[in-house]
């Protein structure tokens, strides 16, 4: 099969490179990545000519103010911006025919494909196929997907849906569940998958807050019990309390679902509660940092500014959200993260925001042995929200969320 990938950015390019191990793949993006391991062509027309499957992985962005690096729960609800994907689909339609299948990957709200996107493809066939992939482990997630989501007009598994399923068989190294539904069902699986993760993180970090304020609680004792309750509570991923939900997807997805709740007149807004808890939990962590800084007369430093280890993006950074609340109280904050160009040296109260061993647990991503971005100066105070650091010579370590023992 001959494959085209339209949109070769942080998602589309690594996915296309995985596909190229099994198929002939070319790609197009408005900005060519010089390190690309596939051929990037100069136009959409040239890229899709003679291609059997045409994947579309272009952004459906939010207004930058909704990024998540600052409080967003008080902002008005707002849908994604579909202008880029609409423009791309319209252009693709000029050059395709019924022998070609257009496969949209981009995240959209339920009802969007049927009302606004599929009608733009009149000259080819169309299918909706969103991915469950995280930055930092894109290629691993591509070959080890938790599930495959395929959306067709009527939810039929035959025809184009089966073609796409067969396409993925040599790529996938695991045996994932295959979910075939209507366009609307596929849209819902993708967006509610993301917000379910947000809700899980908000819940376990609430337990962390309870431990801090109530005392005599180690949050890990509680969450380990929940992880083992697999009959009524789903799997253990995202059930370790620590930093809040972050990145370019999950916070904005909840804002978009607030918009959907209003549009459909559900009569309630669970998604606002999820985002409000995210904001407040970051503020609680910031207040803990400030109290320690005043107690020890030390500056505040956050270890890790990017939204997760090994990824240079700061969009939706929970570290920056905590830093925002520190600064809102009139206290300066510094960061240390080689990927964002932030360097620190000296004694400090340090929030260990990045812990690769927790972030990438079970993803197959190689964990680098040195998990610290700088040498910890003796006399520092370490606030560890992951509770994995046991000892740093000359410095004290506080396990945030464990008040069972005096630290």
| 40-50 pLDDT, tens digit each | 999 999 999 99
Q: Is the pLDDT of residue 406 over 70?
A: no
Q: For residue 244, how far is the Cα from the chain centroid?
A: 11
Tens-place pLDDT, residues 54-113: 999 999 988 888 888 999 899 999 999 999 999 999 999 999 999 999 999 999 999 999
Token digits of residue 186: 């596929």
Say which range, 195-199, 270-274, 303-307, 368-372, has the weakest mean pLDDT. 368-372
Q: Identify the helix (H) or strand (E) that includes residue 93.
A: helix 83-93
Question: Domains in the chain, ordered, with CATH?
Answer: 2-183 (3.40.50.720), 192-399 (3.40.50.720)
What pLDDT score does 363 carry?
83
Whole-number Å distance between alpha carbons of 389 and 300 = 18
Q: What is the mean pLDDT of residues 219-238?
A: 88
Contact 43, 27 (CB under 8 A): no
Whole-number Å distance between alpha carbons of 322 and 69 = 8
What pLDDT score does 235 carry?
81
């Amino acid at each position: 099969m001959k494959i085209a990938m339209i949109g070769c950015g942080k998602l589309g390019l690594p996915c296309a490179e995985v596909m190229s191990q099994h198929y002939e793949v070319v790609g197009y993006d408005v900005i060519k990545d010089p390190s690309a391991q596939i051929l990037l062509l100069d136009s959409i027309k040239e890229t899709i000519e003679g291609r059997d499957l045409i994947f579309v992985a272009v952004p459906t962005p939010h207004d930058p103010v909704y990024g998540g690096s600052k409080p967003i729960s008080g902002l008005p609800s707002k849908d994604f911006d579909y202008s880029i994907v609409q423009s791309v689909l319209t252009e693709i339609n000029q050059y395709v025919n019924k022998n070609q299948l257009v496969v949209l990957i981009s995240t959209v709200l339920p009802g969007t494909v049927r009302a606004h996107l599929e009608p733009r493809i009149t000259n080819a066939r169309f299918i909706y196929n969103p991915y469950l992939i995280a930055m930092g482990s894109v290629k691993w997630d591509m070959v080890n997907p938790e599930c495959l989501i395929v959306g067709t007009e009527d939810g039929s598994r035959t025809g184009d849906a089966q073609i796409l399923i067969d396409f993925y068989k040599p790529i996938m190294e695991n045996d994932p569940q295959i979910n075939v539904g209507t366009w609307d069902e596929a849209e819902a699986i993708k967006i509610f998958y993301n917000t379910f993760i947000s809700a899980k993180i908000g819940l376990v970090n609430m337990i962390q807050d309870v431990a801090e304020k109530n005392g005599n609680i180690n949050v890990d004792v509680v969450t380990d019990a929940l992880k083992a309750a697999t009959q009524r509570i789903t799997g253990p991923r995202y059930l370790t309390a620590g930093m809040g939900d972050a990145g370019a997807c999950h916070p904005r997805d909840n804002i978009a679902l607030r918009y959907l709740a209003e549009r459909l007149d559900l009569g309630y807004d669970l998604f606002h509660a999820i985002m409000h808890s995210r904001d407040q939990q970051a503020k609680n962590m910031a207040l803990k940092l400030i109290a320690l800084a005043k107690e020890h007369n030390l500056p505040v430093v956050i270890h890790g500014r990017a939204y997760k280890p090994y990824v240079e993006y700061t969009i939706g950074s929970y570290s920056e959200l905590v830093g925002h609340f520190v600064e809102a109280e009139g206290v300066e904050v510094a960061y240390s993260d080689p990927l964002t160009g932030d360097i620190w040296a000296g004694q400090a109260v340090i929030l260990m925001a990045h812990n690769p061993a927790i972030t990438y647990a079970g993803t197959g991503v190689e964990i680098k042995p040195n998990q610290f971005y700088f040498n910890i100066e003796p006399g520092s105070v370490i606030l560890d929200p992951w509770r994995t650091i046991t000892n740093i010579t000359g410095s004290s370590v506080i396990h945030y969320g464990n008040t069972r023992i005096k630290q």
